[in-house]
Amino acid sequence: MQIESYIIGRVFDGVSSKEQPARLRVVGERVTVEIDGGATLAYEKSSVLISDRVAKIPRVLTFNDQRTFVTDDNEGVDRLIKPSFFKRSIFSAEMSLRTALLSVAAIVVIFSFLYLVILPEFAVWLAPRLPKSLMTMIADQTNGYLESSGMFSEPTLTPGEMEVLKLLFAELKNEHPDLGIEFLVKGGKSVGANAFALPDARIILTEELVRLSSSQDEIRAVLYHEIGHIFHHHTSRILIERSAISLALLSVGGADALGVPLVLMTASYSRKHENEADRFAAEALLRKGLKPTLLGDVLLKMEEEAKREMGDMKMPSFLSSHPLSTERMENLKKFSSSERP
């Protein structure tokens, strides 16, 4: 004799909000619902819709007359009407602690790999292939901003000083004619002694930096660093990297997630680019028979001057998009010792 098991629950008839305690039974292809102190209803098993099992929430069986039967006995329901393999798998995955821990580990590994390897490599591959029109447009925007912001002024160097610089510029252009580099000298105002590589391969050199340098070779060192940025397509790469991270943060956390996390995550990419530019400069200097530490000397001088302007605040390394000068000096020293024939 078959032992028939009941499932205890409540019926909601979909007409009023009143609950009706009831029991449910499955006999062959029929599902019967016996309402306490009331009618017995019967339905075709195949016409009954069963809600997906999610943790311990009550299970709902929906019948073709809009009535529902709600029960806490999820096990009982699964015993009587077996859920599909797919649904069972998802549910047991959600209930398994081991799956959760494995998932956490997998996510950490995947995202670390994406962040540390995949995205940077993708940026390296894509950067030279970006359409020229896009880069020109970005360059125009940047230039427009620079003009209107009043960040720079006209330089006040003597014509003699400018002539010397023009010779240096011509020599550097000849070393990499295909990059289409142009040089500009500007008065730095609040920016001080500095140099910038723009998206359209123009390099800005401030006159404060010219005055700060004790030799033409120091200027050359800084310009090599900037040419390195252009050679390695750093503007394009950081654009790609920043867009990808923004997209990822947006989809995970919404608009709130942009801002600080974005800055932190792109800072490490910027530092990597700076290291690459340093390496480029070091190799270029060596080829000219100059010491890579020349760049380090100029950088230290620039840092000293910046400190004099801003007070003595040190930024922790991971926040800064430029590696600290002591770090960079160490790296430059390494370049000179390893490349020596």
Partner 1 sequence: MSSIGSDNALKEESSIENELQVYRSEFRGSATEFFRIWIVNVVLTILTLGVYSAWAKVRTRRYFYGNTFVAESNFDFHADPISILKGRSILVIVAVFYVGLIKLFPAAVILVWLVFAALFPWVYVKAVSFNLANSSYRNLRFGFDPLIKDAYVLMFENWLLVFFTFGFGYPVLLYRYNQFTIRHMRYGAKRFEFSSRWEDFYTIAIVGFGAGAAVVVVGGILAVGLIFLGKLAGESGKFVGSLGIGVIFAFAYAGILIAGAYVRAKTPNLIASASRLGPIRFRSELKGREVIWIYITNALAIAFSFGFMVPWAMVRMVRYRTSRTMLLANRSELDQLVQGETNRLGAVADAAADFGDFDLGF
Q: 144 φ, ψ to 5°?
A: -55, -45
Task: Considering only the stretches 6-14, 73-81, 145-153, 188-196, report the one whose residues sit in contact with partner 1 under the rule CB under 8 A.
Answer: 6-14
Closest to partner 1 by CB, 27 vs 101, is 101
Closest to partner 1 by CB, 3 vs 260, is 260
| Cα(9)–Cα(1) distance, integer angstroms | 25
| Cα(120)–Cα(234) distance, integer angstroms | 11
Do 200 and 136 meet the contact criterion of CB atoms below 8 Å apart?
yes
Closest to partner 1 by CB, 89 vs 326, is 89
Among 39, 42, 54, 315, binds partner 1 (CB under 8 A): 54
Size of the site for partner 1 (CB under 8 A): 46
Q: x/- binding map, residues 258-297, to partner 1, per CB under 8 A? A: ---x------------------------------------
| Range 11-30, binding partner 1 (CB under 8 A) | 12-19
Task: Considering only the stretches 102-110, 195-203, 222-230, 321-329, report the one whose residues sit in contact with partner 1 under the rule CB under 8 A.
Answer: 102-110
Identify the sign of the CA torsion 178, 180, 183, 189. Answer: negative
Nearest to 61 by CA among 94, 24, 36, 88: 24
Q: 3-class SS at 268? A: helix
Among 32, 68, 317, 325, binds partner 1 (CB under 8 A): 68
**Least distance from partner 1 to the Cβ atom of residue 253, Å:** 7
Listing DSSP states for 190-222 in one string gives GG-S-EEE-TTSEEEEEHHHHHH-SSHHHHHHH
Exposure on the CB side of residue 177, measured as CA atoms within 13 A = 1
Any idea which residue has 């009331």 for tokens? 38
Burial class of residue 207 (count of CB atoms within 10 Å of its CB; 0-12, 13-18, 19+): buried
Q: x/- binding map, residues 240-259, to partner 1, per CB under 8 A? A: -----------xxxx-----
Task: Considering only the stretches 32-40, 99-107, 151-159, 269-277, report the one whose residues sit in contact with partner 1 under the rule CB under 8 A.
Answer: 99-107
Determine which helix (DSSP H) or strand (DSSP E) holds 326, and give its type and residue range.
helix 325-339
Q: x/- binding map, residues 311-330, to partner 1, per CB under 8 A? A: xxx-----------------
Closest to partner 1 by CB, 65 vs 163, is 65
Among 47, 66, 215, 216, binds partner 1 (CB under 8 A): 66
| Cα(184)–Cα(45) distance, integer angstroms | 81
Q: Is 132 in the site for partner 1 (CB under 8 A)?
A: no
What is the binding site for partner 1 (CB under 8 A)?
12-19, 51-52, 54-58, 60, 66-68, 70, 90, 93-97, 99-100, 103-104, 106-108, 110, 134, 137, 141, 251-254, 261, 310-313
